[in-house]
Chains A and B, each alone.
Chain A
Amino acid sequence: MTYPDPDDPAHPARPSVRPFLQSGPLSAGGYRPAPQDEQPPAPEQSAALRPFVITSGRTNGADPDIGMETQVTVAPGAGPVRLSPEMRAIVGLCFEPVSVAEISARLRLHLGVTRILVGDLRAAGQLDVHVLDNETPDPETIMRVIRGLRAIT
């Protein structure tokens, strides 16, 4: 879907991974707090874990297929693998179909983080992400929504 966006004339191409992390998150060793030459950004932020630590610093690069309402389920026959606690928690929610937004809300994970982790779990074969064939809803689907909405009181 394309449309003009006059507010945003020169949107920079965003890298998917910070360069120093591309050699591999484990080898880079770039996560530890910076030495004392850098002050913590703000006192009120220091108490909470920065959300994108969980994603090894990636703040974007989420699969554009993974929207807020996209349904996610556990992949049948997914083999046992070692997962981070956040990823385990995500998989644990997906035995019933659940949306990415619900995962984010229930686990109190930021939406961007959730999208990245769901994408990782999909790539790892742990989750099925049910991407819709047609992005724009067809009239029949809309009619069903209208009928369903009319039926509620």
Chain B
Amino acid sequence: MDYEQSPDRVVGTAAVGSGGRPKKAPVPVKIIVAGGFGVGKTTTVGAISEISPLTTEAEMTSASVGIDDPGQATMKTTTTIAMDFGVLTIDQTLKLYIFGTPGQSRFAFMWDDLIKGALGALVVVDTNRIDDCYPAVDYFERAGLPFVVGVNTFNGQMSYSLDEVRWALAIREDVPVLSFDARFRGSVRDALLVVLDQALDKAIRQKSSYS
């Protein structure tokens, strides 16, 4: 589409910025980290990100309410939700974004935008409040987005075994359930690698079904 470079720039090379001109934009890919409040999404994002997580606020007004019907303007509720995200530069032409998003079903209408083009999702679970993650699991299943359930162990503490978590979630056999510690980069990296494995499986399946 409009990915062409400025005419004086050699296409196909990792351009080095010079003279204040824009560099060749890297290809962005993203992984979603979903889960209820306080399950460790921000910790997860922060552990893997090369920058300290940034926060973007999305205005969760029911956007059309006040427009379609001014009479109801005073009835609408405005929720501002914060989404934390981090960045990992894979190389000069590829950047991985990790978006942490609230997992409650009342925010589900914003997930459509969020998962567009996403590689996959890591659903973070606190075994003390397993049901917090149900909406996210429901949504990703319906959307056909590859996802992995990651039980955040918080100091190795788990109230239930992974099998019990799998049983409670009633997810398909091919959805991995794993435990990880959101505070440690290596642990988060391994969890994301499982997400990427799922994403790769799906991408290969799709590609072979096209050709």
Contacts and interface: CB of A to CB of B under 8 A. Distances in A.
Contact of A76 (B22, B85, B96): B22
For B28, B109, B142, B199, the residue with the greatest tally of chain A CB atoms inside 10 Å of its CB is B28
Interface string B76-88: 0010100101011
A3 B142 contact: yes
B185 interface: yes
Contacts of B197: 146
A112 B6 contact: no
Interface string B89-128: 0110011110100000100110011101101000000000
B114 A3 contact: no
Given A3-B144, A101-B54, A150-B193, A51 B59 contact: yes
Nearest to B3: A130
A94 B67 CA distance: 32
A52 B23 contact: no
A95 B22 contact: yes
Contacts of B130: none
Chain A interface helix/strand/loop/mixed: loop
For A64, A101, A131, A132, the residue with the greatest tally of chain B CB atoms inside 10 Å of its CB is A101
A133 interface: yes
A37 interface: no
B99 A68 contact: yes
A153 B20 contact: no
Given A149-B96, A152-B185, A69 B30 contact: yes
Interface in B12-44: 17, 20-30
* 9 smallest beta-carbon distances between A and B, as pairs: A148-B90, A105-B54, A73-B22, A71-B25, A97-B25, A69-B28, A76-B6, A104-B56, A59-B63
Interface of B: 1-3, 6, 17, 20-30, 54-59, 61, 63-64, 67-68, 74, 78, 80, 83, 85, 87-88, 90-91, 94-97, 99, 105, 108-109, 112-114, 116-117, 119, 142-144, 185-186, 189, 192-193, 196-197, 199-200, 203-204, 206-207
Given A76-B6, A131-B2, A138-B207, 13 more contacts: A14-B64, A15-B68, A64-B116, A76-B21, A112-B58, A112-B63, A135-B116, A137-B119, A142-B29, A143-B200, A145-B90, A145-B196, A149-B189
